Amino acid sequence: MPLSLKQRHKLLMADRTRDAAWITSVIEDLLAANPDTSLSEIDQELRTAAAHTYLVATPGTAAGFKVALGAFAFRRQIAAAGMTVAQNRATLEGR
């Protein structure tokens, strides 16, 4: 289920803070309020808005993701996890 305009606004305002803990909290709240929404959909909203926040899948953790601020940090984190961008996207879809 897509995010409402209010939820999308909340997500993009969190992105502007560049505070990974705050962004994580907002995403967790969005997922709790809208269980049909996937991490992949949230990541797509961020990509569409040219946001600085990227989601890195972390299977086996409580949240299932972590926030990377900026493309370089994102690439570094998925490389450290031994994933490709496509594998990360597939893992986010399968939450």
**Which structure tokens are listed for 56?**
């890195």
Residue 57 CB neighbour total at 10 angstroms: 24
Which pLDDT band holds residue 46 (cuts at 50, 70, 90)? very high
Which pLDDT band holds residue 59 (cuts at 50, 70, 90)? confident
Domains of the chain, by residue range, sit at: 5-93
CA 52 from chain centre, in angstroms, equals: 11
- Using DSSP, state whether 27 is helix, strand or coil: helix
Which pLDDT band holds residue 1 (cuts at 50, 70, 90)? low
- Contact present, 74 and 35 (Cβ < 8 Å): no
- Contact present, 26 and 10 (Cβ < 8 Å): yes
- Is the pLDDT assigned to residue 77 strictly greater than 60? yes
